[in-house]
Homo-oligomer: A and B are copies of this chain.
Amino acid sequence: MNIDNIPEAFSVTLRLKIISSLVSSSKTFNELRETTQATQGNLSVQLTKLETWGYITSSKVIEKKRTKSTYELTSFGLSQFEEYVALLQAVLDSNMS
């Protein structure tokens, strides 16, 4: 990763919030809704994108006869996030004059 190919995952605030929220632990759809304050539709769309890109995985579980989706950051997603932050930090560090 370099400044010329920053992944799309980090360019939308909601996606960044989702990723940030999942760093500490997996979350359900509604937990993410609370922490991100996003609408359901928007959340659904962005989760689908992050999953398509391999940043998160989801698993549907039937709980009390209702589906409950849980979202988890993949190791790829975490490492991309770490790389992204390291890249920006390096830009700042290179300025040390």
Contact with B along A1-40 (1 / 0, CB 8 A): 0011010000111001100100110000000000001000
Tell me the bound Cα distance from A2 to B75 in angstroms.
Answer: 24
Measured between beta carbons, the chain B residues less than 8 angstroms from A92 are 23, 81-82, 85
Tell me the bound Cα distance from A85 to B81 in angstroms.
Answer: 12
A interface size (C-beta, 8 A): 22
* A88 contacts partner chain B, Cβ-Cβ < 8 Å: yes
A16's partner among B6, B37, B94, B95 (CB-CB below 8 A) is B6
Contact with B along A61-95 (1 / 0, CB 8 A): 00000000000000000000110110011011011
A8 CB → nearest B CB, Å:
9
A89 CB → nearest B CB, Å:
5
Tell me the bound Cα distance from A48 to B81 in angstroms.
Answer: 29
A89's partner among B6, B12, B37, B85 (CB-CB below 8 A) is B85
By Cβ-Cβ distance, the 5 closest A-B pairs, closest first, are A20-B91, A85-B88, A23-B95, A6-B13, A11-B11
